[in-house]
Amino acid sequence: MLSHIPNQEGAIAAALITGDTTEIKKETRQAFVNSGTAHILAISGLHLTLVGGLLFLIFRLIGLCWPPIFLYMPAPKIGAVLSIIGTFFYLQISGGRIPSMRAFFSFSLIMTAILINRTPISLRMVSFSAIIILLLYPESLSTPSFQLSFAAVTGLVAFYERSQLFLTGKTYGKRILFYFCSLFVSSLIASLATTPFIAYHFYKVTLHAISANLIVIPLLSFLIMPLLLLWVCLAPWPFMFEKLSQAIAPLVTAMHETAAFFSGLKGSIIFLTGLSAVSFSLIVFGGLFLCLLKTKLRYAGAALIAAGICHCILFPKERPDLFLANQGTVIGFVDKGHLYTTQRRKKTFLSEIWGDYHGIPQGQRHRLSDRRHPLKNNLTVSGNNILVHTERFSLWVENEHQEKYPHAHIWISKIRHHKPDDFQGHFIGEKDLPHTRFIYAGKSFSK
C-alpha cells in the first residue's frame, strides 16, 4: 500500500485495512484527533461493519443469482454465514484489538439473528458482545477503548430501537426524511455518548466533530472502504491494482484535507479538566438510565446528568502542580498557567498529557533551559528561586525543636535561607514551611 499510494495517503489507507498506524506522522494524527475523526484511523465498528455489510450484500446477490442454492436456503442466510467468515479474516488482518473484537462479536450476533429470524439490532446484542469480551479480557473494562466503543454503540442502538417504534406505521415520506437525517443524528448521538469518557480520560473534547464526521464518514463508507476492499481482492492483477490505487489516492487526500481543515478552525479544541470521578459517574449512570430503562423512570437519567455537570462546575477535580515521571528524573510543574518540563524536547508525550491535564495551551508549555536540572541545581521561575532535588538527602528544619527529616526523596521549595556551616544537608527555614511541598517515600506530608 505504501509503495502504490504515496505520502500520508498510503499510510492512512494501510491503517484503514490493517490497523497499522506506525507510518502516520504525528501532524496527520493530530489533525484527525483535533477534528474529532480519529476513530477513522483505528479499526473499529465502523470499518468492520462496512466490510461485513459489503460482503453480506455481495454474497446475498450471488445467492439470488444462483437459483439451485436459493431454493434450499434463503439468500440473506447465505450472505450472513459467508459475511461472518469474511469479517473474521478481516479481524485477523487488523490485529484483533478491543474495538475490532467488539464490532466482530456484534456483527456476528446480528448475522446470527438473521439466521434464526430474530430482531438483528438490540441492546441484548450489545450486552452479549460486552460479556464475551469481558470474559476473554476482563481488564479491558477500565480501558478508554472499551468504554468509548460501547458508549457509542449503546447510545446508537438505544436510539435506533426507539426510532423504530416511532416510525412504525408512519408514511414513507417520514421514513425517507428519517434516513436522510440518520447520519447527522448518529454523529450527534455518538459524540454525546462518548464526550464524558473523552473528557475524563483525555481532558479535552472537539467542537467540530459532528461537522467533520458528516463529510468524512460518507466519503469513507460509500467510496474509500469499498474501493479498498476491491483493491485488496485485485492484488494478484497488477494492472487493475495500479489503476485502482490512482482512484483511491485523491479520495484519501480529500478525507485528510477535510480533517486538517476542521482541525485548523479556531476553537476546535476545548479543555474539560474539572471532571472528577463523582461527576463522571453521575453522568455515565444518567446516560445508562436513559438508554436502558423502558419506563418513565428513565427520565431520571437527565437529572443525574444535570447533577454530574453541576458537580463538575461547583466541585472541580483537584489538579497537582508537580508531575514526576521515570523515577523522578523527569519533572514538570505548573506556575501561573504555564507548564515547565525538564525534558530535552518541548513537545513530548509527557508534556502533552500534563499540559492537557491542566488545560494549558501549546504556547504556554515550556522546556527548562537549564540542562543540569533536575538532579542538583536550582532553577528560576517567575523571579523565584526554586530547588528541586531527587536524590536521597537529610533535611534540617529551622525551628525551636531543630527537627531533622532523614532520607527525603523529592523536595521542592523556594530558597530563602542558607544552611548552617556544620550541617551537611539541605536546609529550609521555618518561614518557608507553609510554601513547601515534601514528598517522602512516595507520600505527601506537611509540617
Helix (H) / strand (E) element for 395: namely: strand 393-398
Model pLDDT for residues 194-213, shown as the tens digit of each residue:
889 988 888 888 878 878 88
Furthest-apart CA atoms within the chain: distance in Å: 101
Helix (H) / strand (E) element for 404: namely: strand 404-408
Q: Are residues 347 and 389 in the same domain?
A: yes
Cβ-based neighbour number of residue 258 at 10 Å: 21
Within a domain: residue 120?
Answer: yes
Within a domain: residue 48?
Answer: yes
Q: Are residues 301 and 201 in the same domain?
A: no
Name the domain count of the chain.
3
Q: Are residues 296 and 415 in the same domain?
A: no
Q: Are residues 79 and 221 in the same domain?
A: yes
Q: Are residues 363 and 291 in the same domain?
A: no
Q: 283 is in which domain, residue-wise?
A: 277-314
Q: Are residues 241 and 107 in the same domain?
A: yes
Within a domain: residue 146?
Answer: yes
End-of-domain residue from the set 204, 236, 271: 271
Cis peptide before 76 (omega within 30 of 0): no
Q: Are residues 412 and 350 in the same domain?
A: yes
Within a domain: residue 217?
Answer: yes
Within a domain: residue 428?
Answer: yes
Rounded CA-CA distance 339/271 in Å is 15
Q: Are residues 102 and 251 in the same domain?
A: yes
Q: Are residues 55 and 171 in the same domain?
A: yes
Q: Are residues 396 and 304 in the same domain?
A: no
Q: Are residues 196 and 125 in the same domain?
A: yes
Q: What is the pLDDT along the chain (447 residues), one digit of tens a residue?
A: 777 787 888 888 888 887 778 888 888 888 888 888 888 887 776 777 778 888 888 877 776 777 776 667 777 787 888 888 888 888 887 777 777 777 788 788 888 888 887 777 788 888 888 888 888 888 888 888 889 888 988 998 888 877 665 555 556 666 666 656 776 777 788 888 988 998 888 888 887 887 888 888 888 888 888 888 888 777 777 667 777 888 888 899 999 999 899 888 877 788 887 788 899 999 999 999 999 888 888 889 999 999 999 998 898 887 777 777 766 567 777 777 788 777 766 667 777 888 888 888 877 887 765 444 333 344 444 444 455 544 444 444 444 444 444 433 444 544 444 444 444 444 444 444 444 444 333 333 333
Within a domain: residue 2?
Answer: no
Q: Which residues pair with 379 in a beta bridge?
A: 386
pTM: 0.69
Q: Are residues 368 and 413 in the same domain?
A: yes
